[in-house]
Amino acid sequence: MSTILEMRTITKEFPGVKALQDVTLTVERGHVHAICGENGAGKSTLMKVLSGVYPHGTYTGDIVFENETMQFKDIRDSEKSGIVIIHQELALSPYLSIAENIFLGNERQKRGFIDWDETNAEAAKLLARVGLGDSPTTVVNEIGVGKQQLVEIAKALSKNVKLLILDEPTAALNDEDSAHLLDLIRHLKGQGITSIIISHKLNEIKAIADEVTIIRDGRTIETLDLADVTENRIIKGMVGRDLEHRYPDRTVTIGEEVFRVEDWTVHHPTDGDRTIIHGASLNVRAGEVVGIAGLMGAGRTELAMSIFGRSYGSRISGRLFMRGNEIQARSVPEAIRNGLAYATEDRKVFGLNLIDDIKRNISTAGMKKLAPRGWVDGGQEQIVAAGYRKSMNIKAPSVDVVTGKLSGGNQQKVVLSKWLYSDPEVLILDEPTRGIDVGAKYEIYTIINELAAQGKAVIVISSELPELLGICDRIYALSEGTITGELPIEQATPEALMVLMTKEKEADHVIG
């Protein structure tokens, strides 16, 4: 087996930060090579150096591709050599067709005009290669994220890709789409295409990759052959220590009921005849962590958003109680005033203002506390944000750093800080560890435990059953918008939860 890529002593600096220091990477032709590391370790930065996003001259070290030292000046330059990167945030135009996206910037022309027959015919061939049966003329915003990933790969194949880089390719995908994508990577490997995959999902890395290179704090730690390496061994390399327990221990002291939802029914926001949540009832007590489990499309996020200021749905009925007293939460400000907080599953779109600094992101939900006379006290805002930066271990030189420059785990800590500053009694966390590494997950779990220890009532929505089983005291199961059961953690198993998560709703079925 020959070597297709060597990156030698790559060092990349930003103002005040050394993102990469003497990083080395060797990738064998025809292999799937994984890169692991905690958020902020430098994985994506290294791939941006390789693909020309950070051009030659902005870093030191050498890139040797197919035995030739390369000096890529931009991403188009690397693509000419057969290196194509697919970023975690997909770069498709939502209002163009699949075929138009595949050949955007690489149009099929005849006599100076786009040859649409050839464009659509070639796109159809590429879609067949990636196993996507949609028409090339389908507009991209009409297909789901899983299919959009396949369009990105088809686009890469149109550029005669030799080395395909996938940055967190399954982070936003459900299990079925993830499995299909991994099968496609295996198929491409069989065709001689080399892949580099960045992922926090260690089970996927074990299933798909030949080797894994671990990066920690901007440095190469080691490269391991995955044929005889356990997930725990990879974790040790990532975090610099053994994680004997992936979930921190905690002493549970559960108090009186804090929050209760009764007979909560929600209809679709635009189709009022379609019921999304059917008479859901649940409760959570002081110091308790309650999970909500369900398959994709079960209505978990819709339930949470409708409770939090009716952010989702129409024709909502049911009752909400805080410490035994009925409350109203007809808008987000009213929900916040009554002690509710909701950390969205999509922190980049709905949870944060990525072009603003840490300080202002933290203060947004509790702004009135900083403006007793109608204007914000900037000095107090700085003090508050600095306090959360320290207590939440947000890794940034100051609270004036733009939030979009933080790693995923640190962005999530900013989201939690924002809602903690609003001083809620009930904190609803929707996929709180999505897209972050095992070390950062452990920190988030520790924060959840600390909140529970303070007497907060915490509701956690997660697609990962081991996560719910590791951190919750009780778990509700949701299927087709109906709560189908409730299990104390002593009785909760993946099998028992899956039975409830796949249970068809019964007429007039309500659990108290």
Q: How many CA atoms lie within 13 A of 346 on its CB side?
A: 6
- Whether the full predicted model's pTM is greater than 0.85, yes or no, is no
List the one residue out of 209, 212, 204 whose CA is nearest residue 236: 212
Largest CA distance in the chain: 76
Q: In the chain, what are the helix, strand and coil shares in percent, each to the nearest 5? A: 35, 25, 40
Tell me the per-residue pLDDT of 450-507, one tens digit each, with 9 for 90 and over: 889 999 999 999 988 888 999 999 999 999 899 999 999 999 988 889 889 887 655 4
What are the pLDDT tens digits along the chain (512 aa)? 699 999 999 999 987 778 899 999 999 999 999 999 876 788 889 999 999 999 999 999 999 999 999 999 999 999 999 999 988 777 889 999 999 999 988 888 888 888 999 999 999 999 998 888 899 999 998 888 888 889 989 988 898 899 999 988 887 677 778 888 899 999 999 999 999 999 878 888 999 999 999 998 899 999 999 988 888 888 888 877 555 567 888 887 899 999 999 999 999 998 888 899 999 999 999 999 999 998 777 899 999 999 999 999 999 999 999 999 999 999 999 999 999 999 988 777 778 888 889 998 998 888 778 877 778 888 888 899 999 898 888 888 899 999 888 877 788 889 889 988 888 999 999 988 877 777 778 888 998 998 899 999 999 999 888 889 999 999 999 998 999 999 999 999 888 898 898 876 554 443 33
511: helix, strand or coil = coil
Cβ-Cβ contacts under 8 Å for 235 (sequence gap 6 or more): 202, 242, 243, 246, 438, 439
Question: What's the CA dihedral at 45, 50, 56, 59 to 10 degrees?
Answer: 40
